[in-house]
Structure formats: structure tokens, C-alpha cells
């Protein structure tokens, strides 16, 4: 299909009544005039220490002041925000450009100095930088998104607030912070929580931040920042709905376009007072109940002393509270938490879902994973009898292979020695008068002496072999009997005694027997100690087990179309319109992000099976369906590793190989992006005879772009993500207003979108092309 595109100024009024083939784009703006040339110092980006020093100069009398006029409005700070928007894209070519190149790219879109003057004079028009995206369905909700210029301002505000607040947040506050992601929170639960008894997760009713919440948030900010301009900017962002916070939903921290990059730190600021109160209560409880080390456990009256502990983990709007005390203590703490959230923070809590559960007998869902307290033997089970036998068999096979290598080495030495000996005697026979060469004699003797010493050393070095030889040579020792010795000749008895002395001298089993008995005793004692320790730990200690939600993963796999009703892989016909490499990249993006997200789970093997089998063979079947071939032919062409060749003929592998999946595990501390964005998004390439426009990646100047149409999973299935019966609970969804929109993207950004390296939040979604 050939599509003819028409460039239209996005600032023009768009009539709701459009012809079926009328196209328009919010990206194709009239380029702004180039900024004034700088004859002196060019604008350069700031490093984080420089930006921090700049913000700290505005600190006086316990508060920060004049942050907008003295920090945000500076061209250096705005250019640094532009750089942050580009460096979030892994494969973007702008990462290697200098500040001047970035400044030139920014200047093609807007004047950064004029933007700074508007901020200083409080003339910046936020409403003019907002784009309203209409829903694809009649009853859908519209979405307001910031254009690229407003995104720069939002990123600059986020940078300043991060410097002001990040070091003031408590340690159990995760999300929206550097090095404080989902895996960090899970590892804290796995490594620090001991003997949990009761827990509950705070679940909020689905509600958006309204005026009362924004006013309360601004009051919290005014406790540290005295800047009316900055407070006014934040209020105007909420009024224009370009920044919105929705608690109780599935959108925070997932990179969806309906969430702003500023939301995470604003949520942390809003809950900071709540976190400080809980931190004080935890410290007070720890002072009342000091912690003992494992070797300092007090044993009295047959009981182990377990101190009462309280643990809290908060990831944005998800809160998990764990106690190791009584249920009454947990109920009192829960009542205090609900009273604070509903009273001080004016939030609505779902009291039915915020229920106390037993940590031992019940699972609890947190951060998209299932938690349960189990004995250590569940996480590290002892080897079964079958596994022990298999390990012993492997060790015996290893010893046999080592002995075979040793015998082969000795055999080669013997053959080499015989060859040398034959060569020496051959030379002696050829010499005149059979004169003996003493130099050759010494060399031969040295060779045989070295060879004999090595063989004897290897032979006598093994205690078990010495013992076996001694047992064989002394078996049936009837000549030691007195009545037998008297009947034999004295020469035979003396010869036997001398032989026995030599056997005892070189092959005495006493030392070997003692060493083997000592080793056996040591192994038995270690096993007894290990068994006793594991038994005591199972009776006195509980650890945290983190599992991937098996049923939800299976439901997501079936809903997305990877499997049929029988649970077997099937092709996804929507992807047939893509290129082969794009099909593989789409599957690779889902598979790799699934592996990264669940790599910290105890049942990670199940996720590996889903990726290795269901996703891999679904991709193979899709490729086979596209080329009208069989699965066997597709495997023969692409192999199971799904290898494809580029234009130069080089093979490339995007989907994780079977060996790579097998070696994956809990290795990295990072904040993985959920698989929702890559799973629910399909980009279909469109054909067009019009000249390509600039890529919609942040400050990407590439013109070799291709138009891709957005297809969303919920619209393809015709389901509502808010209905949990037909949707996967806890799985977010991209806003429906982006469905069927067309995005001009270069090869780098489309590759990152397919692979899940970036999301729709990392590109300018307002620069779309709408096709009816």
C-alpha cells in the first residue's frame, strides 16, 4: 500500500471531521529561526557534580531559593536536560556527540536561550507546548502529552529536585532513584528480612491526583524549597494534565507515555514524611529489641530468642510492611499506617485488599512477584539420593579418565624411551669397532633415570594404590605360621622374610590406612555438622522466597497469542507484515525483558522454559507462516538461534540463544523495565513515496526514516485493561490514544523499540502521523 503524506503545521486548528485519507503530523513544524551566534564561550553541558554545586549555591537558612531564575533558566542546565533525554536511548548516535553538536541539534527545534529568558520572566507558555491526543474509540479518554520543548523543562525540574531530595530519602524508598530499582528492593527482602511472621501490602483505590493532593504536594516541597516560580510551574503542569499521578493503577515506573518522567520523584516527595515516620518507629523498635548474630543466639529453656523486627519496602505507590512479632503488633502498625495515609496524605486505601496475611502459609504479591517465608532448606534443598549417586558416579568417571590419561602418558614415555634406546644401540653398532660412547651412555641413563623416578613417584604417591598392592602381596600369608615354617627349608623361609621386609618397607599400609580413616571421619563429621546446622536453621529461621507468578505469565503468554488453547506455540499473524529481522527483534524484546525482569526469582527456570520454548517456536512458526513453509524448513534456514544476515552477509543474533538462556541468573543490580510495553506494542511498517521527515527520537536529526503504525494489544483483542477477568492483573497497558498512530523512526530507534531498550516515553509521541 502506498500512502501519500501531507505536511501540516501542528499549531493549526485540527477539525474533528476528517476525510478518511487525510494525514497530518505534529512533528513537521516550521523550523524555528536559528539562535544568535555566540562569539564567546559556547554553551556546554554540566556534569552531575557541577550541577549539584550550582544547586547548593542557592541553599541558605535551611531552604533552597531562586532555583528557577538561577538554575533552571540557565542554558547550560537546559542543555544538560536535553543531553539526559538523549542518553536514555542506548543506541542513539547523539551519545558520542559533543556539547556543540547537541546545541546545534537543539537549535533546529527551539531557541534554548529564549526559553531561559521566558523562565526567568515567568512567561513560559506551558499550554502551548501541550498536545491533546484523541482516543481511537468514541468512549475513550484523551491524553495530553508534552512536546519536546516542554519535555526539556520537565527533565530540568526533575534534575534539580533529584539533587535536592535524593540524599534525604530513606533507605527503603525505591523507584525513581539511581541504583534503587526493583531488583535492589527484591534483594533487600531476600538478604535482610529474617523470620517474618505477618505482612500486608497497602493497596490504594484507583484515583488521580486532584487539586487537594497537588496543594499538599506543594506544601511538602515548600518545606525545603522557597521558590514561588518553581511551585507555580509544578501546579501548571498538573493543571494542564501534562503531568499526572494515578495511584492504584499499573502505569507508574513502566515507561508508558501517560506517565511523565517527573512523576517518580514527586511521588517520593509526597511519601517522604510517611517514610520518615516509619523510619523513626523502626529505629525505636530496633533499640527495644537488639539484633543477635547467628552464633550468638541465646538458648534458654529449649527456645531460641527472636527479636521483634519491622521491615518496610516502598516502590513508588506499592508499600509492603513485614513484622516478625505478634499479630496484634502488626494490626496496631497497620491501623497507624492507614490512619496516616488517609488522614495526613488524604489518600483512599482499599481496606479489603490491605489485609494481614501469614508470612508462612500465605503468598503475597509485590512488585509483580509472589513472596513467601520458607525455611532455608526450601531455597537450598539437600541433594537427593539419586543426585548423590549421580555425583559419585561422576567423580568415579572423572577418576577413571584421569587414570587413563596417566596410563597413556606413561605409555608414551615408555615408547619414547624404547625409541631412544633403539636409536642409541643402532648408532653404537654403526660405530667403528663398536666403541662405546660414554656421552651417549650418560644421556641414556639420565633419560631412563628421570623416567623411572617419575613412574615410581607417581606409583608411590597414591596411598590407595600402595594399600591395594600391600593387600594383594600379603594375602594368604601361610608362611608366617610356625608349624608351616618348621617344615620348609631355611633358605626358603629367609627369602620369604626378606621379601616381606621389602614389601613392608615400600608398601606399608599403616600411614595410608590412617590417612584414609582420618579423611572418612572428617567427611562424616562435616556431614553431621551440616545436617545439624540445616536442621536447626529450618526450625529457627525463615527466609524470603521470591517466585514469578506462574499463572499470570501463562495467561499473558496465551493472551498475547504465543500459545493456543492447548498451550502449544502458535504464529502471530499480525507480525507477518513485518520484515524477518523485525519479527525476530519483536520476539527478542519480549523474551529478553522477561528474562531480565524475573531473573531474581526462585522459579526462574519456568520463565526460561517459556522464553526458550513458547516464544522461540512461536517466532519460528510466524516466520514459517510468512514464507509459506514448514517449521522444519524455517529451523533449517534460521536455526534455533534465529540467526539473520545483514546487508553485508554477517550473521546477527537478537533472540537469546539456548546456551545464553541456560547461563542466565541473578547477576545484575538494575531497575528492569516490565515486559508490558514490548508485549502490548506492535509496530507495522508502512510504504510511502513521500520524502522522509526527521526522526521523532529526542534530538535525532536522521532523515532516513520509515513510518510505522502502532497497534496496541488491548485494541486488537477488543478488551478493557481495567477488567481483570479479561486482562492480566497487574499488567499495564499503553494509552489507547496511540493506537493506529504512525511514527517516523530511524533504524536505531526502531531497533531499540523492538528490543525493548527504550519505550514510547523515550521518544516524542506528539510527533505522530495520524492515518484514518
Model confidence over 80-101: pLDDT tens digits?
A: 888 888 865 444 433 445 777 8
Q: How far apart are CA 601 and CA 608, in angstroms?
A: 11
Given a cut of 80, whether residue 200 has pLDDT beyond it is yes
Name the 3-class secondary structure at 544.
strand
Which is more confident, 10 or 746? Answer: 746
- What does the pLDDT read at residue 475? 55
- What's the rounded Cα separation, in Å, for the pair 189 and 204? 22
State the pLDDT at residue 616: 92
Q: By three-state DSSP, how is residue 365 classified?
A: strand
DSSP codes, 547-596: E--HHHHHHHHHHHTSB-TTS-B---GGGGGS-HHHHHHHHHHHHHHHHH
Phi, psi torsion values for 598, nearest 5 degrees: -105, 15
Predicted confidence band of residue 509 (pLDDT cuts 50, 70, 90): low
Radius of gyration of the chain (CA): 37
Q: What are 741's three cell numbers? A: 498512530
For the residues 389-400, what does the mean pLDDT come to?
89
pLDDT higher than 60, residue 1: no
Per DSSP, the three-state class of 125 is: coil
Strand partners, 312: 321
Residue 365: CB partners within 8 Å, gap ≥ 6?
Answer: 201, 371, 549, 730
**pLDDT over 70 percentage in the chain:** 80
Q: Which of 51, 315, 336 lies closest to 169, judged by CA?
A: 315
Q: Per-domain residue ranges for the chain?
A: 42-88+98-167, 546-755
Which whole number is the average pLDDT over 459-470? Answer: 52
Which of 551-567 are b and which e, b meaning 16 or more Cβ less than 10 Å from the residue's Cβ?
Answer: ebbbebbbbbbbbeeee
CA distances from 644 to 9, 116, 587 (A): 40, 48, 14
Which is it for strands 769-771 and 741-745: parallel, antiparallel or unpaired?
Answer: antiparallel
C-beta separation of 221 from 269 below 8 A: yes
- For the entire predicted model, the pTM comes to 0.77
95 vs 205, residue with greater confidence: 205
Instruction: List 315's β-bridge partners, or say none.
Output: 174, 318
- Ramachandran assignment for 392, one of left (phi > 0), alpha (psi -120 to 50 degrees), beta (any other): alpha
Strand-pair category, 198-202 with 357-358: antiparallel
Q: How far apart are CA 285 and CA 533, in angstroms?
A: 29
| Per-residue confidence (pLDDT) for residue 95, from 0 to 100 | 44
CA 702 to chain centre: 31
Q: Tell me what pLDDT residue 728 has.
A: 87
pLDDT at 85: 87
324/291: higher pLDDT: 324
Cα separation, 557 vs 214, whole angstroms = 39
Note the pLDDT of residue 690.
64
pLDDT band at 507 (very low <50, low <70, confident <90, very high): low
Q: Is the pLDDT of residue 196 over 70?
A: yes
- Among 291-300, 367-376, 561-570, the range scoring the smallest mean pLDDT is 291-300
pLDDT of 274:
92
Segment 730-764, tens digit of pLDDT: 888 888 888 888 888 888 888 888 888 888 888 88
CA distance to 356, 400, 526, per residue, from 394 (Å) = 49, 10, 21
Contacts of 287 (CB under 8 A, 6+ apart): none
Please give the DSSP secondary-structure letter assigned to residue 697. Answer: B
Length of the chain: 772
Amino acid at each position: 500500500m502506498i500512502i501519500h503524506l501531507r505536511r501540516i503545521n501542528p499549531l493549526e486548528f485540527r477539525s474533528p471531521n476528517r476525510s478518511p485519507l487525510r494525514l497530518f503530523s505534529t512533528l513537521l513544524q516550521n523550523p524555528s529561526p536559528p539562535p544568535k551566534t555566540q562569539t564567546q564561550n559556547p554553551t556546554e553541558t554540566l556534569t552531575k557534580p557541577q550541577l549539584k554545586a550550582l544547586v547548593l549555591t542557592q541553599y541558605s537558612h535551611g531552604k533552597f531559593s531562586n532555583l528557577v531564575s538561577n538554575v533552571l533558566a540557565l542554558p547550560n542546565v537546559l542543555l544538560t536536560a536535553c543531553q539526559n533525554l538523549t542518553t536514555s536511548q542506548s543506541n542513539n548516535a547523539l551519545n558520542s556527540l559533543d556539547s556543540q553538536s547537541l546545541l546545534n541539534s537543539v537549535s533546529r527545534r527551539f531557541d534554548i536561550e529564549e526559553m531561559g529568558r521566558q523562565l526567568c520572566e515567568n512567561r513560559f507558555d506551558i499550554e502551548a507546548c501541550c498536545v491533546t491526543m484523541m482516543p481511537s474509540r468514541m468512549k475513550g479518554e484523551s491524553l495530553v502529552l508534552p512536546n519536546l520543548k516542554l519535555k526539556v523543562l520537565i527533565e530540568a525540574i526533575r534534575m534539580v529536585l533529584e539533587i535536592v531530595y535524593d540524599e534525604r530519602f530513606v533507605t527503603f524508598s525505591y523507584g525513581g532513584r539511581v541504583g534503587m530499582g526493583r531488583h535492589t528492593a527484591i534483594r533487600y527482602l531476600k538478604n535482610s528480612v529474617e523470620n517474618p511472621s505477618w505482612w500486608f501490602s497497602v493497596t490504594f483505590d484507583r484515583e488521580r491526583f486532584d487539586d487537594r493532593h497537588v496543594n499538599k504536594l506543594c506544601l511538602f516541597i515548600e518545606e525545603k524549597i522557597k521558590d514561588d516560580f518553581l511551585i507555580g510551574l509544578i501546579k501548571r503542569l498538573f493543571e494542564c494534565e501534562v503531568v499526572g499521578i494515578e495511584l492504584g493503577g499499573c502505569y507508574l515506573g513502566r515507561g508508558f507515555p501517560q506517565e511523565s518522567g517527573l512523576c517518580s520523584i514527586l511521588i517520593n516527595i509526597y511519601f517522604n514524611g510517611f517514610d520518615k515516620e516509619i523510619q523513626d518507629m523502626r529505629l525505636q523498635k530496633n533499640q527495644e529489641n537488639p539484633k543477635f548474630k547467628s552464633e550468638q543466639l541465646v538458648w534458654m529453656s529449649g527456645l531460641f530468642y527472636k527479636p521483634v523486627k519491622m521491615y518496610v519496602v516502598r516502590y513508588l505507590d506499592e508499600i509492603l510492611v513485614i513484622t516478625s512479632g505478634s499479630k496484634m503488633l502488626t494490626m496496631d502498625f497497620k491501623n497507624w499506617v492507614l490512619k496516616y495515609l488517609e488522614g495526613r496524605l488524604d489518600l483512599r486505601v482499599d481496606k479489603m485488599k490491605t489485609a494481614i496475611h501469614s508470612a508462612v502459609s500465605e503468598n503475597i504479591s509485590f512488585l509483580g512477584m509472589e513472596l513467601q517465608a520458607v525455611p532455608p532448606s526450601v531455597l537450598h534443598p539437600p541433594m537427593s539420593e539419586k543426585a548423590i549417586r549421580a555425583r559419585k558416579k561422576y567423580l568415579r568417571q572423572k577418576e577413571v579418565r584421569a587414570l587413563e590419561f596417566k596410563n597413556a602418558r606413561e605409555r608414551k614415555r615408555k615408547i619414547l624411551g624404547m625409541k631412544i634406546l633403539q636409536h642409541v644401540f643402532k648408532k653404537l653398532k654403526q660405530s667403528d669397532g663398536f666403541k662405546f660412547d660414554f656421552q651417549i651412555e650418560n644421556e641414556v641413563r639420565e633419560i631412563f633415570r628421570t623416567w623411572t623416578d617419575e613412574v615410581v613417584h607417581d606409583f608411590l604417591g597414591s596411598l590407595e594404590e600402595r594399600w591395594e598392592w600391600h593387600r594383594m602381596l600379603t594375602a594368604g600369608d601361610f608362611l608366617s605360621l610356625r608349624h608351616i615354617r618348621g617344615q620348609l627349608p631355611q633358605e626358603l623361609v629367609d627369602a620369604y622374610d626378606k621379601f616381606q621386609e621389602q614389601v613392608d618397607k615400600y608398601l606399608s599400609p599403616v600411614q595410608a590406612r590412617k590417612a584414609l580413616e582420618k579423611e572418612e571421619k572428617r567427611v562424616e563429621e562435616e556431614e553431621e555438622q551440616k545436617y545439624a546446622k540445616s536442621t536447626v536453621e529450618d526450625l529457627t529461621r525463615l527466609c524470603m522466597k521470591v517466585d514469578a507468578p506462574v499463572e499470570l505469565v501463562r495467561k499473558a503468554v496465551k493472551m498475547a497469542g504465543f500459545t493456543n488453547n492447548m498451550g502449544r506455540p502458535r504464529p502471530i499473524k499480525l507480525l507477518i507484515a513485518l520484515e524477518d529481522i523485525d519479527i525476530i527483534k519483536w520476539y527478542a524484546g519480549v523474551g529478553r525483558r522477561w528474562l531480565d525482569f524475573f531473573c531474581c526469582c526462585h522459579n526462574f527456570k519456568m520463565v526460561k522454559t517459556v522464553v526458550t520454548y513458547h516464544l522461540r517456536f512461536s517466532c519460528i512458526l510466524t516466520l514459517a507462516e510468512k514464507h509459506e513453509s514448514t517449521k522444519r524448513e524455517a529451523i533449517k534456514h534460521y536455526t534455533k538461534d534465529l540467526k539473520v544476515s545483514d546487508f553485508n552477509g554477517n550473521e546477527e543474533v537478537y533472540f537469546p540463544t539456548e546456551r545464553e538462556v541456560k547461563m542466565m541468573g541473578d547477576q545484575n543490580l538494575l531497575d528492569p523495565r516490565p515486559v508490558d510495553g514490548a508485549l502490548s506494542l506492535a509496530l507495522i511498517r508502512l510504504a510511502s513515496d513521500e520524502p522522509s521527515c526527521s526522526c521523532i527520537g529526542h534530538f535525532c536529526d536522521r532523515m532516513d526514516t520509515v513510518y510505522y503504525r502502532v497497534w496496541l494489544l488491548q485494541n486488537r483483542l477488543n478488551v478493557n485493561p481495567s477488567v481483570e477477568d479479561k486482562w492480566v492483573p497487574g499488567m499495564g497497558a499503553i494509552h489507547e490514544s496511540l493506537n493506529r498512530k504512525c511514527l517516523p523512526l530511524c533504524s536505531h530507534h526502531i531497533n531499540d523499540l523492538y528490543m525493548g531498550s527504550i519505550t514510547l516515553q523515550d521518544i516524542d509521541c506528539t510527533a505522530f502521523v495520524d492515518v484514518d
